[in-house]
A and B are shown apart, each in its own frame.
Chain A
Amino acid sequence: MSFAAPFRRSLIPRTTRKIASRYPCSKRRCFASVTSPTTPEAPREPEGTREVPMTVGDGGSGTVRPVRQRHGSDRLVFPGAVNSKFTNRLRFRMSDPNEAIETYRVMDTEGQIVDETHGLDFESLKEQTLKMYNSMVTISIMDQIMYDSQRQGRISFYIVNAGEEGIAVGSAAALSEQDVIYAQYREAGVLMYRGFTLEEFMSQCFSNKKDNGQGRNMPIHYGSRRLNFHPISSPLATQLPHAAGAGYALKLEGTPACAVTYFGEGAASEGDFHAALNIAATRGCPTVFICRNNGYAISTPTLEQYKGDGIASRGVGYGIDTIRVDGNDAWAVYKVTKEAREIAIAQKKPVLIEAMSYRVSHHSTSDDSFAYRARVEVEDWKRRDNPITRMRKFMELRNWWDQEKDTQLRTQARKDLLKAFNAAEREKKPAISRLWEDVYDKPTKDQWAQMEEMKDILERYGEEYDLDMYDGGKGGVVSKK
């Protein structure tokens, strides 16, 4: 057979290639005018004309715009950098380690407002403040209960949120219901604030039949269509480009909302981070990227994660509006998220927020963090700063809160959580057919055959399996879908 027969003649290089004229490609036009000004496509302008027409992509809308180039100017308009001056000083650029990007703060560790330019009317936010505090406290109590239950072997896995409740709840309070959320896994506070019920939390962790994910994913991999919260997946940073795509969808729909995605500073080392920020910037996606920089990715300290000025310094490189914020200051997080959301929606572009905090807990129930960091360091952090106590002090300064109310809130939360916990633990697991369902919109022929195969096995070896805990027992093995 001849592999290239149809192409043989055209293998000879052609001297001129017709460029698709309907879509003026910026790069070709620019190179043509800079390197070969006599090309017919870009004729040199007559002597006396001080400018040469050029085009560059405008990023986002997919069109090109003209740029005027002045002869004898102190800069040449390269297509890849349209406003760079020439210099005869050979100097490698390096960010100044003494001039790190500053951290925005509204209140100090004692709950005192340090920034009077915050523009927040706290009196009108009283109800919201109580809801934020309630969410943070409930999450912290749920974490204790679930952490212990994992230690007792009642659930298989858990990840706590300790020290980072302020980032989740502060940002969630600044978002609207229409905003679409993509989380990593340490953002239960977002769900709590948005109205995920205790039953839903517990059902997911116990993989029972009421779980929105039908018991398929590990504990803490929450998701909710009702709350516009996409299901969490374990691969790190994969959700970042999803949020860019969702932001783009919102823009095309004309919905006045943004996509918001959370990720740790470790996840920001993944290629997906680079992909997502770059595509979000070039396509003009209303997406807010919120990085939780808590100092550790499991055992890896940030010093082994990156050499630059955190994650925030990278946003600028992508042409993205960027800010660093005190993650233990829920009001600062609230304020920057609110601003970021407005910028993203009004200006149709992404924003990057780096929220600084400290992971006071172990990474997960499968991790003992004292294997790689000193216990004293953690104890110091717990004493020094905490988003929940900061918010409590803020409320106490305004006489919105006191010890009695706090005790009452904690007692009630614990009671509600344990009630949900016990109910979820007793609930049946989903029907066995759920193993095959939802892989596709409907089961394939092979999957039907595999259900029948399993049914046959259960008929003959039923005693080898835990059938009673599953909805419908062995009768639930063949899909009703």
Chain B
Amino acid sequence: MRRKAISLLCRVSRPSTVQHPLVAPIASLPRYYSSHVPPNAKLNQPIQYNTSTYLSHTAAATLANPELPSSIRTSGNTNRQNLYQSINSALSTALSTDERAILFGEDVAFGGVFRCSTNLLDKFGPDRVFNTPLNELGIIGFGIGYAAHHESNTAIAEIQFGDYVFPAFDQIVNEAAKYRYRGAGEFSCGGLTIRMPVMGVGHGALYHSQSPEAFFCHVPGLKVVVPRGPVQAKGLLLASIRERNPVIFMEPKILYRAAVEEVPVDDYELPLEKAEVLAKGSDATVISYGTTMYTVELAAKAAKEMLGASVEVIDLRTIYPWDKETIFESVKKTGRCVIVHEASKSGGVGGEIAACVQEECFLRLEAPVGRVAGFDAPMGLIFEQFNLPDVARIFDAIKKTLDY
């Protein structure tokens, strides 16, 4: 069943211009999955990745990023890549700059079900890029053993979907996260990076849609990173791989092909544990990460047009340990805060951020901290449009916090 679902998603995510002659054009058929834009919708418009200001569509825009090393910024060497291509570029860079790095997981050898490891077997050989048996705890346990063997060993493990990381939960929580602590610095598996596709994809249902980050944000010893686009994905993944602490690197799978940017060709890293302010504003702060950044962008735009509100938008990037200074500074300025994530609300990352904002910014808060999150239900296939934070719900949360 699971394999079937994987191949479905795999096929779905391949763009095709050739339509099957026996199948009627999609527009004339009712849609039984995912969502489409209702004719009268004003807020829930499709995400326009090609015009989003949260992606760098020109080399100049990319190279203006002050976080990039000056050598990258002056070289001007970029090319257009989508998210999976930039991941591929990061993996290739990591393997070529670190001879003790290995990449492994289910089906990574032929290029991966999302194409992230395309060509890497050819470049680096079957000893360094290889398939494992279909067993998540084995993948992570093996990676821990490889990384703990030598402090400069680098293990890049892939879990095919974040939804399937739970068989390895024991290895991640009890072993990877505590290895350095119980070895008192004599031992660690800091060279371990665990990559996994996460978040909604339109029709992934219960087991191809989850956002399990909050489970890992409760575990001292781990770092949890979620990029929002190709430039971030490459820079943050390289930083995560080279980081000498175990990192859970979550890749929003809907962005693999959708998000396209001008990405620096050469080797660069972006800082971990650092949030990024995407839009300056003075009336409210909206914090999110991954896929929902683009929904937040539309909601902030709607708030500007319909309410005249100036919204400050922050991409958290590293979810744990997270960049409190940037968040607090922003909320102290705006006095209002809304947190957006796809994962279900109870016990989610939003609760932690809200509690910390409340502790630190109490005297500056002018409204309760708002949270827009997935509802406390699994991701039922046909209900996805109601379960995920959309523009309407985020807009409404901004409106409520402004009206308070």
Least Cβ distance of A356 to chain B in Å?
Answer: 26
Q: Check B238 for interface membership: any CB of A closer than 8 A.
A: no
Interchain CB contact under 8 A, B184 and A5: no
Least Cβ distance of B398 to chain A in Å?
Answer: 16
29 A-B interface contacts by CB (under 8 A):
A4-B33, A7-B257, A12-B16, A13-B23, A14-B18, A20-B111, A22-B121, A22-B122, A62-B129, A62-B130, A217-B182, A223-B186, A225-B186, A231-B183, A233-B178, A242-B148, A244-B138, A244-B141, A244-B145, A247-B145, A248-B145, A271-B135, A272-B141, A272-B171, A276-B138, A278-B135, A279-B135, A279-B142, A438-B181
Residue from A20, A211, A434 within 8 A of B110 (CB atoms): A20
Q: Check A446 for interface membership: any CB of B closer than 8 A.
A: yes
- Give B103-121 interface residues, CB cut-off 8 Å to A: 109-111, 118-119, 121
Least Cβ distance of B158 to chain A in Å?
Answer: 14
B127 proximity list for chain A (CB < 8 A): 61-62, 252
Q: Check B203 for interface membership: any CB of A closer than 8 A.
A: yes
Q: Which of A9, A272, A275, A283 has the most CB of B within 10 A?
A: A275
Would A9 and B221 be within 8 Å (CB), given that A180-B149, A240-B141, A244-B142 are in contact?
no
A3 proximity list for chain B (CB < 8 A): 34-35, 200-203, 254, 384-385, 388
Q: Check A246 for interface membership: any CB of B closer than 8 A.
A: yes
Q: Check B12 for interface membership: any CB of A closer than 8 A.
A: yes
Interface residues of A (CB under 8 A from B): 1-15, 17, 20, 22-23, 25, 61-63, 180, 182, 211-214, 216-217, 221, 223-225, 230-231, 233, 235, 238, 240-250, 252-253, 259, 271-272, 274-276, 278-279, 282-283, 434, 437-441, 444-446
Interchain CB contact under 8 A, B11 and A10: yes
Cα-based distance from A173 to B194 in the complex (angstroms)? 37
Residue from B23, B46, B126 within 8 A of A2 (CB atoms): B46
Cα-based distance from A395 to B190 in the complex (angstroms)? 47
Least Cβ distance of A285 to chain B in Å?
Answer: 8
- Give B174-216 interface residues, CB cut-off 8 Å to A: 174-175, 178-188, 190, 200-203
Cα-based distance from A217 to B187 in the complex (angstroms)? 14
Interchain CB contact under 8 A, B138 and A9: no
Cα-based distance from A125 to B190 in the complex (angstroms)? 41
Cα-based distance from A230 to B122 in the complex (angstroms)? 34
Interchain CB contact under 8 A, A439 and B221: yes
Interchain CB contact under 8 A, B144 and A439: no
Interchain CB contact under 8 A, A4 and B202: yes
Interchain CB contact under 8 A, B47 and A5: yes
9 closest Cβ pairs, A-B complex = A245-B145, A241-B141, A4-B202, A62-B126, A275-B138, A242-B145, A3-B202, A2-B46, A249-B149
Interchain CB contact under 8 A, A440 and B150: no
Would A279 and B132 be within 8 Å (CB), given that A10-B14, A241-B141, A242-B141 are in contact?
yes
Interchain CB contact under 8 A, B133 and A278: yes
Residue from B11, B141, B188, B190 within 8 A of A276 (CB atoms): B141
Interchain CB contact under 8 A, A212 and B146: no
Interchain CB contact under 8 A, B174 and A233: yes
Residue from B12, B155, B258 within 8 A of A11 (CB atoms): B12
B18 proximity list for chain A (CB < 8 A): 14
Cα-based distance from A357 to B26 in the complex (angstroms)? 68
B310 proximity list for chain A (CB < 8 A): none
A250 proximity list for chain B (CB < 8 A): 149
Least Cβ distance of A33 to chain B in Å?
Answer: 18
Least Cβ distance of A229 to chain B in Å?
Answer: 10
Least Cβ distance of A243 to chain B in Å?
Answer: 6
Contacts A5-B46, A249-B146 known; 17 new A-B pairs at CB < 8 A: A1-B47, A2-B37, A3-B202, A4-B35, A6-B49, A6-B254, A10-B11, A14-B18, A231-B182, A235-B174, A241-B141, A246-B146, A272-B141, A272-B171, A275-B137, A279-B142, A438-B185
Would A283 and B132 be within 8 Å (CB), given that A235-B170, A235-B174 are in contact?
yes
Interchain CB contact under 8 A, B298 and A1: yes
Interchain CB contact under 8 A, B20 and A15: yes
A259 proximity list for chain B (CB < 8 A): 145
A434 proximity list for chain B (CB < 8 A): 184
Cα-based distance from A271 to B169 in the complex (angstroms)? 12
Interchain CB contact under 8 A, A272 and B137: yes
B257 proximity list for chain A (CB < 8 A): 6-7
Interchain CB contact under 8 A, A1 and B14: no
Cα-based distance from A462 to B25 in the complex (angstroms)? 76
Interface string of B222-242 (1 = CB under 8 A from A): 010000000000000000000
A25 proximity list for chain B (CB < 8 A): 110
B295 proximity list for chain A (CB < 8 A): 1
Residue from A9, A23, A221 within 8 A of B19 (CB atoms): A9
Interchain CB contact under 8 A, A238 and B175: yes
Cα-based distance from A345 to B149 in the complex (angstroms)? 17
Interchain CB contact under 8 A, B184 and A212: yes
Q: Check B167 for interface membership: any CB of A closer than 8 A.
A: yes
Interchain CB contact under 8 A, A439 and B167: no
Interchain CB contact under 8 A, A245 and B141: yes
Least Cβ distance of A22 to chain B in Å?
Answer: 6
Interface string of B157-175 (1 = CB under 8 A from A): 0000000000100110011
Closest to A182 in B: B145
Cα-based distance from A63 to B126 in the complex (angstroms)? 7
Q: Check B95 for interface membership: any CB of A closer than 8 A.
A: no
Residue from A62, A182, A440 within 8 A of B109 (CB atoms): A62
Least Cβ distance of A272 to chain B in Å?
Answer: 6
Q: Check B45 for interface membership: any CB of A closer than 8 A.
A: yes
Would A230 and B45 be within 8 Å (CB), given that A14-B16, A235-B174 are in contact?
no
Least Cβ distance of B206 to chain A in Å?
Answer: 15
Least Cβ distance of B223 to chain A in Å?
Answer: 8
Interchain CB contact under 8 A, A7 and B13: yes
A438 proximity list for chain B (CB < 8 A): 180-181, 183-185
Interchain CB contact under 8 A, B44 and A241: no
Interchain CB contact under 8 A, A22 and B119: yes
A212 proximity list for chain B (CB < 8 A): 183-184, 186
B171 proximity list for chain A (CB < 8 A): 238, 241, 272
Least Cβ distance of A257 to chain B in Å?
Answer: 11
A223 proximity list for chain B (CB < 8 A): 182-183, 186-187
Interchain CB contact under 8 A, A1 and B142: no
Cα-based distance from A274 to B130 in the complex (angstroms)? 19
A13 proximity list for chain B (CB < 8 A): 11, 20, 23
- Give B237-252 interface residues, CB cut-off 8 Å to A: 244-245
Closest to A15 in B: B20
Residue from B36, B140, B141, B184 within 8 A of A214 (CB atoms): B184
Interchain CB contact under 8 A, B202 and A249: no
